[in-house]
A and B are shown apart, each in its own frame.
Chain A
């Protein structure tokens, strides 16, 4: 299933433990890379977009942190912001428990989803034994 998703990389933005952040860049730079290289925005515009997205997700304070200095939740927020800024029709969160082991993650993800302005569907791919965590 995940291999199939990886093959659809133009349509799917993934937040996954297999897709880490660039370790020597700050959270802000990791997110700003996308508009900078994909859409050829200027460095200032890209940074502004990234900062706005982090602010929207309620984690503006993590902007200068690098991957090793982040908590699992902060790292997840950065990965999520990076996936959101890709502007792809589907967003897949792959095994959230492997990334968010320090918070009650279904609630945490729900809160983050409530803060974003973007349309689209968020899919969570989790183990069957974690199904009880997601009430219908």
Chain B
């Protein structure tokens, strides 16, 4: 085959070409990084602005009428009460598995006396709130993202605006409050269930272990840990509702963009949940 073009490494024009290519590559990389950073900043700013707006409205006495209260109750019902039986069954299975693993490992290493503490730290403080947030994100977060995106594409928000019905008060704020309350309640319930299962797995039906068990609980659950757990669950609740609402509102008015909006929203929710968990672990153990 004939050579169409031949490059000589010592040729000055070749070096110039390489320099130009390199400069172009660096310029494109910087541009792409800048675009990404600007995008992240815009998303972050949008989230913070929306949250501030919601908090201001939350403090406003006019917001708390019967209608808003009813919508909040409905949201809590749809987000937590409706899935309670499934969620508790799933918590029992996960808790039982993790407790069994911890107990058998602790026995193998002769660390049975630490099994209770390990169970509480791993299961009640970390794993169950994390799994609760993931479940609510998959079930309610994706639904919220889709609904808000469809409302935007369908002009339903414009219609509410025309009727002077505030969408923040009627549609968005109840979802945020519902999400926070639901994650706290479900994480709390699954934690209690895990404690009960831990007791039964370690001590059986005997009363003998009650005193050391409750002493271990009291030792772990000081004010700092309880406050940290509540804040973490609250942040999980906000992440699984606030991010989908804002992602839905960012959707361009085109139906084919709705799946893209949900995809983006759910990716952001996932990263936010991971970030909250990592920061919480770092604050506690590093």
**Contacting pair B155 A18 (CB below 8 A):** yes
Residues of B within 8 A of A9 (CB): 161-162, 164
**Contacting pair B159 A22 (CB below 8 A):** yes
Interface residues of A, CB < 8 Å — how many?
A: 20
- Among residues of A, the one whose C-beta sits closest to the C-beta of B163 is A34
Interface class of chain B by DSSP: helix
Distance of B68 from chain A, by nearest CB (Å): 9
Residues of B within 8 A of A38 (CB): 163-165
Given contacts A19-B162, A22-B156, contact A37 B150 (CB under 8 A): no
- In the complex, A43 has a CB within 8 A of chain B: yes
**Contacting pair A18 B150 (CB below 8 A):** no
- Among residues of B, the one whose C-beta sits closest to the C-beta of A82 is B163
Distance of A13 from chain B, by nearest CB (Å): 8
Interface class of chain A by DSSP: loop
Q: Tell which of B147, B151, B155, B164 touches A19, judged by Cβ atoms closer than 8 Å.
A: B155
> Chain A, 1-19, contact with B by CB distance < 8 Å: what is the 0/1 string?
0000010010000100011
- Among residues of B, the one whose C-beta sits closest to the C-beta of A10 is B164
Residues of A within 8 A of B150 (CB): 23
- In the complex, B113 has a CB within 8 A of chain A: no
Distance of B154 from chain A, by nearest CB (Å): 6
**Contacting pair B147 A24 (CB below 8 A):** yes
**Contacting pair A18 B154 (CB below 8 A):** no
Distance of B137 from chain A, by nearest CB (Å): 21
Q: Tell which of B65, B147, B154, B163 touches A33, judged by Cβ atoms closer than 8 Å.
A: B163
- In the complex, B31 has a CB within 8 A of chain A: no
- In the complex, A65 has a CB within 8 A of chain B: no
Given contacts A20-B154, A22-B159, contact A43 B165 (CB under 8 A): no
Residues of A within 8 A of B163 (CB): 33-34, 38, 82, 86
- In the complex, B169 has a CB within 8 A of chain A: yes
Within 8 A of B (CB), among A35-70: 36-38, 40, 42-43
Distance of B191 from chain A, by nearest CB (Å): 33
Task: Give the docked Cα–Cα distance between A82 and B163 (Å).
Answer: 8
Which A residues are closer than 8 A to B by beta carbons?
6, 9, 14, 18-24, 33-34, 36-38, 40, 42-43, 82, 86
13 contacts between A and B (CB under 8 A): A18-B158, A19-B162, A20-B159, A21-B159, A22-B151, A22-B159, A33-B160, A33-B165, A34-B164, A37-B166, A37-B169, A40-B65, A86-B163
Which 8 pairs show the lowest CB-CB distances between chains A and B?
Answer: A19-B159, A37-B165, A36-B67, A33-B165, A19-B162, A40-B65, A38-B164, A9-B162
Given contacts A19-B162, A38-B163, 7 further A-B contacts (CB under 8 A): A9-B164, A20-B159, A21-B156, A22-B151, A33-B160, A37-B169, A38-B165
Which B residues are closer than 8 A to A by beta carbons?
65-67, 70, 147, 150-151, 154-156, 158-166, 169-170
